[in-house]
Amino acid sequence: MVSMLQVREIEQRLRSQQRSLPYLNIDGARRLLGLPVIHSDEVFSSWIVRIMLSRKINKRKLLEEINWKEAIHLADLKPASFNLKHLVLRFNLIQIELLERSFLQFEMPFVDSLCLTTDILNRKPIFRFCPYCIAEEPYIRKSWRYAFSYACPDHGCLLLEQCTQCGESIDFEKLNISKMDELSIHDLSSCLSCGTGLSSQQPHRISDRAMNIVLDRQASMFRELSSGVRINNYIAQIRYSENGLLNCLNVGVSGSLIFKEDADEVRTAFRKAGIFSTSYWQPSGCIPVTKGVGKVKRAKQWVIKHREQL
C-alpha cells in the first residue's frame, strides 16, 4: 500500500521532468503522475492542451485516454461524454470536483447552446484571453469562453480575441506538436500560430464609462447563469427562408438584450474597435437575413454535423 504522501512526492518529482512520463502501478491503478495541474477556474480543453504541450504524453495517446475524437473545444460542452472517475484514477491526483467545474454547462440542448461558446458563422471556437492574466499564469480561464464575456474584471481591460501579431485566434485544432517544437512552444503563454508571447499584447481601449457598463452587465450575466436563469433569453438568432420555409440558426448573443438601454454606447465602442462580432445588436435578438444566406446555410450544416456526431 502506497501512502498518499508518497504518491504526492512522486508526482512533484515527475512534474519537474521535461520528458514523457511512465505509467506507474499504484495500488492496482495504472496512473500517470506529474502532468500539469488543472486550475480551479480553468476550462477543460485548456488543461488537455497544456498536457499535450508538456510533451509528457503523446497527443494521440492522450486523446485515446480521454476517449475523445471530436474537436477539443467541443469537449468543454460535453461533460457527460467523459468518465471523470476514470480520469481521476488515471491522471495526477486531481479532485473530481475540479474536473466537473471545468466544463461549460447550459440548461439547453448542446446544439442550441453551441453559439454561446463558438463563432457559428465562421465555424470556430471562442477562446478570448486577458494578456495580464496569461502573464500571471498561462491557461484559459473558463469565463473567457463565453460569448458574453468581454472584459477581465481583475485587470479592468477588454479581452483579446486574436493574436495582435498574426491576427489568428486561439484554436486548439491547429495544435501540431512538431510545429510547436519548431516555435519552441511549451505552454499557453504564446500564440499557437506564430509563437509571439500573448502576455505583452495590448487590449483595445474603450472609454471608462463603457468599460464600467461592460463589467457591470457581464458580472450580472455570470450571476444569472450561476443562479439558473435560462441563458437562452440572450441568444441572437438569424432567421431566413429556404424553399418557402422559415429557418433559424442561433449565431451568438444579443448585445441589445444584454446591455439594454446602454446597448448603443457599447455597440459603438465595440464596432469602433472592430471586436466581438458574435454579439448582435438588433433590438429583439432576431436577425432577418436576405443577403449572404449561403454562409448561414453552411453554418447550419456545420451545426447539424455536430448534432449527429455527439
Nearer to Zn ion, 193 or 250 (CB): 193
Residue 82 binds Zn ion, judged by CB under 5 A = no
Among 15, 39, 155, 204, binds Zn ion (CB under 5 A): 155
Smallest separation, CB 193 to Zn ion (Å) = 5
Nearer to Zn ion, 44 or 144 (CB): 144
2-10, 184-192, 231-239, 271-279 -> range binding Zn ion (CB under 5 A): 184-192
Nearer to Zn ion, 88 or 170 (CB): 170
Residue 170 binds Zn ion, judged by CB under 5 A = no
Site string for Zn ion, 108-137 (x = CB under 5 A): ----------------------x-xx----
Smallest separation, CB 63 to Zn ion (Å) = 25
Residue 163 binds Zn ion, judged by CB under 5 A = yes
Among 2, 29, 166, 219, binds Zn ion (CB under 5 A): 166
Site string for Zn ion, 223-252 (x = CB under 5 A): ------------------------------
Residue 152 binds Zn ion, judged by CB under 5 A = yes
Q: Dihedrals φ, ψ of 249, to 5°?
A: -145, 125
Among 46, 149, 193, 278, binds Zn ion (CB under 5 A): 193
Q: Which residue has the cell 510545429?
A: 179
Nearer to Zn ion, 66 or 152 (CB): 152
Smallest separation, CB 132 to Zn ion (Å) = 4
Binding interface with Zn ion (CB under 5 A): 130, 132-133, 152, 154-155, 163, 165-166, 191, 193-194, 196
